[in-house]
């Protein structure tokens, strides 16, 4: 039990993060779950075993001190981190006259700086161990530009971040995978889409990436629903 692998997930209180936590728990992972919603995190950690199996901690990923504290909690509680899933993020309306400058700032700080902070906070431990796996949630929108979408811009940044990290770590045994979902039926959307992927579909994608042999690094997984044309 003390040797079970440990996965740290940001944006874990709902959607893809929560689904991935459930899938990882079924595979025997211990979990460090981070989000802004403390109540949801407590409920999820309890559902997944609590105590020695799962811990939830409030974390605003755009705040460096929160990310440092999250990493300390993971190491104090479990002594190791094997998988880091930088999944926290949110979107907004398209159009450069839509949304407010304050919403833009929050989205950029969460989607881009938040992912970078997660890497920076956990990388020293993974380098010290000489192994591990980073996963970053990008998007189809990080592969093709969406008209008037600052969200798409942030996901292009995450895509570049993942490749930059992979190149930096290419001489190590640390893996890097970009997860690039198409439309997913999660609380991300105000109006739930039809013909979309389920968050469990993306969780299975994450588990596929981290289940590969040591010699295999799946760098990018682009997954769309069958009826999504672009």
Known catalytic residues are: 151
Of the candidates 67, 69, 154, the residue with the CA atom closest to the CA atom of residue 109:
154
Helix (H), strand (E) at residue 121: helix 114-129
**Using alpha carbons only, what angle is made at residue 10 by residues 7 and 40, rounded to the nearest 5 degrees?**
100
Q: How far apart are CA 203 and CA 194, in angstroms?
A: 19
Bridge partners, 96 (sequence order): none
Instruction: Look up residue 200 and give its DSSP letter.
Output: H
Residue 125: alpha-carbon gap to chain centroid: 18
Q: How far apart are CA 19 and CA 105, in angstroms?
A: 28
Bridge partners, 222 (sequence order): 180
Q: Phi/psi zone of residue 86: left (φ > 0), alpha (ψ -120 to 50 degrees), beta?
A: beta
Q: How far apart are CA 145 and CA 175, in angstroms?
A: 27
């Amino acid at each position: 039990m003390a040797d079970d692998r440990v996965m740290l997930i940001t944006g874990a209180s709902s959607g893809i993060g929560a689904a991935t936590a459930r899938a990882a728990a079924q595979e025997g992972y211990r979990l460090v779950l981070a989000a802004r919603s403390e109540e949801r995190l407590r409920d999820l950690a309890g559902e997944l075993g609590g105590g020695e199996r799962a811990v939830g901690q409030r974390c605003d990923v755009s705040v460096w001190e929160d990310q440092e504290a999250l990493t300390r909690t993971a190491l104090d509680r479990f002594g190791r981190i094997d998988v880091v899933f930088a999944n926290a993020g949110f979107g907004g309306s398209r159009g450069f006259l839509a949304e407010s400058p304050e919403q833009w700032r929050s989205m950029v700080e969460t989607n881009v700086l938040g992912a970078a902070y997660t890497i920076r906070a956990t990388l020293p431990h993974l380098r010290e161990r000489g192994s591990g796996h980073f996963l970053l949630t990008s998007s189809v929108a990080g592969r093709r530009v969406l008209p008037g979408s600052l969200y798409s811009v942030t996901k292009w940044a995450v895509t570049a971040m993942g490749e930059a990290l992979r190149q930096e770590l290419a001489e190590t045994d640390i893996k890097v995978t970009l997860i690039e979902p198409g439309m997913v039926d999660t609380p991300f959307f105000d109006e739930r889409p039809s013909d979309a992927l389920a968050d469990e579909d993306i969780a299975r994608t994450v588990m596929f990436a981290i289940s590969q042999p040591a010699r295999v690094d799946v760098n990018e997984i682009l997954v769309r629903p069958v009826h999504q044309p672009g």
